[in-house]
Chains A and B, each alone.
Chain A
Amino acid sequence: MASPPPPLSQSSVPFYRDVRVLRVLVQIAFVALVLLVGWFLWNNVVRGMARIGGAFSFAFLENAASFALSETSLPYDPATDSYLYAFFIGVLNTLRVVIVGIILATLLGLVAGIARLSSNWLIAKIAQVYVEIFRNTPLLIQLFFWYFVGILKLPRVRDSIEIPGGIYLSNRGLAVPWFTPNETFTAWLVIAGAGILAAFGVYKLLGRVEKPFIYEWRGGWAFLVWLAIALAAAVALQPFTPSVPEIRGFNFGGGVTLSPEYAALLLGLVVYTGAFIAEIVRAGIQAVPRGMVEAARALGLSYIQTLRLVVIPLALRVIIPPLTNQYLNLSKNSSLAIAVGYADLFYVSNTIFNQTGQTLQVILMIMVAYLIISLIISTAMNGLNARFKLVER
């Protein structure tokens, strides 16, 4: 075998000892096995469905949903809208909690993670206690705690706590003043959009100015430009009417109300996931060699500059992969919403398969929906990771 192999045509090696042939055969065998298992499963499903007198069909999704939902991000009329649309509303509600949850959990985790490394004993210990308590108790218990012990124990609507500025807090949620759009709203939206472009131009322009005060804060300046444009347009066009919450009948009318269910779920997810992220952030920062920090300081970088230009880019390499896991966990844990009555994807689906009896189809839909959400998160995070990973030259 030490000599170079002869050409294939002259080979005397039988095919069952030929590595190239064997590789192909193994792959064929594997594919056959997968297909066999797949066929068995499918057959099992079909026979099982036939036995209980059903057929594998998604036609039921077109029927009118006929159940109301407590929270909808889009207009929803149970009398006419289909099960599929109700499912979609559920997906939107899930996204509403997942997106806000990821942002807030990251902020909380960042603060708590840095606090754990603080030289201030009290701050470090508070952060440690927070992390240990919330990381080590089940999320479902925490949700029940926030909802039944925390939020539902707030005063009833009529005895709402009034916070100056027209804000009311009760066990029906947090009602805050809001704006309702006028007919000039679209025009304002266009101007504000143009403002973003203008701000971007300013940002680019300031990037060439070499005065540190202008260069380093060019983001802030650009934002101020956009704010000025948007405000000027708002004053000129009056696109909003302010709407103040007040008790109308049984509930608050006017303003916007953050529902207790949403609040409990969001709070639970953020506090729980934040504790994990805090540990990830701490590990990431501690993974940056001290010498790097000291070298940066020796070069004359300020503390903030050291953090921004040296520590965080290096720490992010360590942080991003486990952070992706936490984001995925958060999105999947949001399915616990049902325990506190928040109308998320799983909650809506539950009602659908209860009413229609098409459990298998709906469960498949749920899984595909979560799979898509998770794949989007993980693709985005992988992209981010690719930007920050060590580029070897």
Chain B
Amino acid sequence: MKHYPIVLIAVVALVAFGVGACAGATVSTPTTSAQATAVPPPTTAPQPTAVTQPTTAPQPTAAPTQVAQATAAPTAAAGGPTAPPPTSVAAVAAGRLKTVLDRGNLICGINGQLAGFSVLESDGSYSGIDAEFCRALAGALFNDVSKVEYRPLTTQNRFAALQSGEVDVLMRNTTFTTNRDTAVGLDFLPTTFFDGGGILVEKSLNATKLSDLAGATICVLAGTTNEQVLTDTFNSQNIQFTPLTFPEANALYKALDEGRCDAATSDKSQLAGQRASVLKNPDDWVIMEETLSKEPLSPAVLQNDAQWADVVRWVVYATWYAEELGITKANVDDQLANGSTNAKRFLGGTGSLGKDMGLSPDAFYRVIKLVGNYGEIFDKTLGPNTKFKVPRGLNTPYTQGGLQYSPPFR
């Protein structure tokens, strides 16, 4: 009995040490061994041929040499694992950007279980809009979309992974909220998907409004904004309900399928993704019209690293801006050579936008060349030609009435 105080001290000390070590965020080489097994070999990701052969690109008249040099340098270096950072990168890179460039790959925190956003395919690659943005970042950083190490995270360990420096960026359908921006200590970047909270119910219940769900058991993922929204919405309308919370999506949708709960709440796109990919009879389920909440799903990085935040921010803007200018994967080379002044500046043909950011001058060219503009990314991952058929909603350029308003690239 007399040992208890010592045991108590030892336990508290151990925890403090562990968490303290994690919280010390500027570990230059995050340990990859612990979760490395969960990560598929990045070499299986498709390699655009145009990148590995930069000389095949049509030679623009304005600034061909600069671009060719910039593209060639990292490509040549990409072969070896001990590749030095690209020579064209401005020497000012520091903080997380330097860590990432020195490491030679990007560690991207993703969902991994959500079709349409990031999900493991049978060939070992990840598909989905979040995974595409990871690749867009890797394209801007390394001119190689395979240089991404995907780190699947749950709703519950995602912030801890970012706080401890385990991942460089969180591309994990995460809602941008004040609390997460301040108390949790993150910085959010432009919203990659403007979503709204919804409810998935069985068609046979004929539920059209929330009050039809009085007394229902509703499944929700732990640690999400949906969990709070559900409570707030139902309580404010005085509708009785029982929440049933699960730590991960697979368990949740299994319980829903078995009839343990009457409905599930999540972001509408997510519901569409899970309905199409997990539920046994997708046609028996319907997403209610009602939108419970705003869910701006945004990339996040650790607070107080402006340079790194800038990189992620402008890569997202680049996909919007390219769509606005009509630059696509197919015509990007042509635009670089013969496009407008804006297009040339954006793609690195003139000016030093990329370089000022600590990247290669053609960083945004690479994003569009390797991944595409936002419209292309959306159509490939969530759009009407996919099984999810998610409407683009607010995720259109402001010129078409959407919310995607990129600041000018100049």
Query: Are A172 and B260 in contact (CB-based, < 8 A)?
Result: yes
**Complexed CA–CA distance, A350 and B246 (Å):** 11
Closest 3 CB pairs of A and B: A48-B23, A357-B184, A354-B223
Q: List A contacts of B184 (CB < 8 A).
A: 356-357
Does A25 reach chain B (CB closer than 8 Å)? Answer: no
User: Smallest CB–CB gap between B378 and chain A, Å?
Assistant: 29
**Chain A, Cβ-Cβ closest to B247:** A338
Query: Are B231 and A152 in contact (CB-based, < 8 A)?
Result: no
**Complexed CA–CA distance, A79 and B11 (Å):** 34
Does A193 reach chain B (CB closer than 8 Å)? Answer: no
Count contacts on B: residues with CB < 8 A to the other chain: 59
Query: Are B215 and A363 in contact (CB-based, < 8 A)?
Result: no
Query: Hey, which bits of chain A sit against chain B, CB under 8 A?
Result: 34, 37-38, 41-42, 44-45, 47-49, 51-54, 60, 66-70, 78-79, 148, 152-153, 156-157, 171-172, 248-251, 253, 260-261, 338-341, 343, 347, 350-351, 354-360, 363-364, 367-368, 371, 375, 379, 382
Q: List A contacts of B21 (CB < 8 A).
A: 44, 48
User: Smallest CB–CB gap between A89 and chain B, Å?
Assistant: 13
User: Smallest CB–CB gap between A171 and chain B, Å?
Assistant: 6
**Chain B, Cβ-Cβ closest to A370:** B11
Report B1-54 residues with CB < 8 Å from chain A CB: 1, 4, 8-9, 11-13, 15-17, 19-26
Q: List B contacts of A152 (CB < 8 A).
A: 254-255, 258-260
Contact of A68 among B180, B231, B251, B304 (CB under 8 A): B231
Does B64 reach chain A (CB closer than 8 Å)? Answer: no
**Complexed CA–CA distance, A106 and B340 (Å):** 80
Contact of B16 among A41, A148, A249, A368 (CB under 8 A): A41
Query: Are A357 and B245 in contact (CB-based, < 8 A)?
Result: no
Query: Are B223 and A44 in contact (CB-based, < 8 A)?
Result: no
Q: List B contacts of A153 (CB < 8 A).
A: 258
Q: List B contacts of A41 (CB < 8 A).
A: 13, 16-17, 20
Query: Are B215 and A250 in contact (CB-based, < 8 A)?
Result: yes
Q: List A contacts of B23 (CB < 8 A).
A: 44-45, 48-49, 51-52, 360
**Chain B, Cβ-Cβ closest to A375:** B4
**Complexed CA–CA distance, A375 and B6 (Å):** 13
Taking A53-B185, A338-B222 as known contacts, 6 extra A-B pairs with beta carbons closer than 8 A to each other, sorted by chain A number, are: A41-B16, A44-B24, A49-B23, A171-B260, A364-B15, A367-B12
Contact of A78 with B231 at beta-carbon distance under 8 Å, contacts A347-B245, A375-B4, A379-B1 already known: yes
Query: Are B26 and A44 in contact (CB-based, < 8 A)?
Result: no
**Complexed CA–CA distance, A341 and B258 (Å):** 15
Query: Are A68 and B230 in contact (CB-based, < 8 A)?
Result: yes
Query: Are A79 and B214 in contact (CB-based, < 8 A)?
Result: no
Contact of B8 among A78, A350, A371 (CB under 8 A): A371
**Chain B, Cβ-Cβ closest to A356:** B183
Contact of A52 among B17, B163, B258 (CB under 8 A): B163
A-B contact pairs, 18 of them (CB 8 A): A45-B16, A47-B20, A48-B19, A49-B23, A60-B183, A67-B227, A67-B243, A68-B243, A78-B235, A79-B232, A148-B251, A148-B258, A152-B260, A248-B215, A354-B222, A357-B183, A360-B16, A364-B12
